[in-house]
Structure 1
Amino acid sequence: MCDPLAPVIAALAAPGRPSSDYDLNPEISLPPGRKLRAAGVLVAFEEHQGELRLYLTKRAPHLKHHPGQIAFPGGKVDPEDDGPIGAALREAQEEIGLPPENVSILGVLEPHETITGFLVTPVLAHVHTPFTPRPEAGEVDEVFTVPFAHIADPANFWPERRRWLGTWRSYYVAPYGPYYIWGATARMLRTLADRMKAHEDHGRLA
């Protein structure tokens, strides 16, 4: 029987490169000495009725930063965390009620630099058994899942743009139903999709 996580594991073994909120905005010059804050997000997959699904959150609408946006559970690395992986696991427990002991870490993608000054490490993980998500009161408006097939296909991602601080900023989007997945979340998922597609194409040519 085929392991539904096999494409994810194969993608992690393939070569990659760091990504950035600026990937679609090459005209923006970044200062070489800029200081970025370390963060980790949990890209958590769970098998449900034979289908692999990915957990995402919708941030509360009243938050000062990124209100209402779709995001992975995660946040900045605190001193007591064991690096980005520890931060991702801690935040996932706080934000969606996912027990760390119910998770196996598959690996990490290269870090992603955000426009808000974070260096985010996507931590890919497998949720062993189904659990009942508990959105963090005041922080998370909703916890939901999307099918693996949706985020595994690069064709489901495309660039859009909007005005930001007086200039046009381009970014990836990957909408799913009522959920507008965009920005850093979409860019990190696009990185994973590209690596899975590259590995698949290489396998056909081998």
Structure 2
Amino acid sequence: MHFHEIKQRLTTEPVASHQKDAAILLPLVQIENQVHILFQVRALSLNAQPGETCFPGGRIDQADSTPKDAAIREFTEELGIDPSLLSILAALPKIESPRKGLIYPFVAEVYSLDTIQPNPEEVDDWFTIPLDYLLHTEPTTGYITITIEPGENFPINQIANKRAYERKTYQMPEYFYTYNNRIVWGLTARVLNSFLQHLKQQ
């Protein structure tokens, strides 16, 4: 493989490689001259995270050409907004989820919420939070303790310092954003925090 091939592959939009990989959209919309972020609340009838706040998105299907296509499709299916009413602004760094594979987040501008029609089988409610509020309000941070145990076929005896990986524990931060009795946390808050940090650094 030559350098120009390496460059081409690294600059080509990624294709999901795991059956659990998912794509999500972080939607921005202008409301009364202020940029807001659109969130949705998962339907209470769902098996996974019912009633939780999240961004539109879901698993990448084989019919999706790219993770970006999957994010747009899921946004349309869940909120009923035609894809012609949004524009992808940028991709955020991928996030690895132990239970869900890789998550591909994309930031999008939504031109109007006038036609929003949430799918009741997937979405219980929706709301927005002003971007300026989130940029100037630090989240509450809690920590989850995670224990690592080598699984079956893990070659622990081939590792020089194997004791460091036997029942290794570490803490992972969890962010909690609150606004008007709404709470954003978990994977959604991690994506949100990544987005906000990018804006603050610029």
TM-score, normalisation: structure 2: 0.73
Distance 1:36 1:195 in 2: 29
On the 8 A contact 2:81/2:113 being kept in 1, the answer is no
1:102 to 85, 89, 112: 85
Q: Structure 1 residue 135: deviation in Å?
A: 1.5
Structure 1 unmatched runs, 5+: 1-34, 200-206
Distance 1:109 1:54 in 2: 15
On the 8 A contact 2:22/2:100 being kept in 1, the answer is no
On the 8 A contact 1:39/1:76 being kept in 2, the answer is yes
1:159 corresponding residue in structure 2: 141
Q: Structure 1 residue 163: deviation in Å?
A: 8.2
1:137 corresponding residue in structure 2: 120
On the 8 A contact 1:150/1:156 being kept in 2, the answer is no
Q: Which moved more, 1:131-140 or 1:156-165?
A: 156-165
Tell me whether 1:187 sits opposite 2:190 in the alignment. Answer: yes
| Matched length | 163
Letter in 2 for 1:176: Y
After superposing on structure 2, the runs of 4+ consecutive aligned residues of structure 1 that deviate more than 6 Å are 162-165
TM-score, normalisation: structure 1: 0.72
Secondary structure at 1:75 match in 2: strand
Q: Structure 1 residue 99: deviation in Å?
A: 0.9
Deviation readout 1:78-111 (Å, 9 max, x if unpaired): 1111211111111111111121111111010010
Structure 2 unmatched runs, 5+: 1-17, 148-168
Q: How does 1:13-92 map to 2 (within 5 A)?
A: 37-92=20-75
Call closer, same or farther: CA 1:103–1:65 in 2, change over 3 Å: same
Taking only the aligned residue pairs, the percentage that are identical comes to 30
CA RMSD between the two structures: 2.2
Greater relative contact order (Cα < 8 A, sep 6+): 1
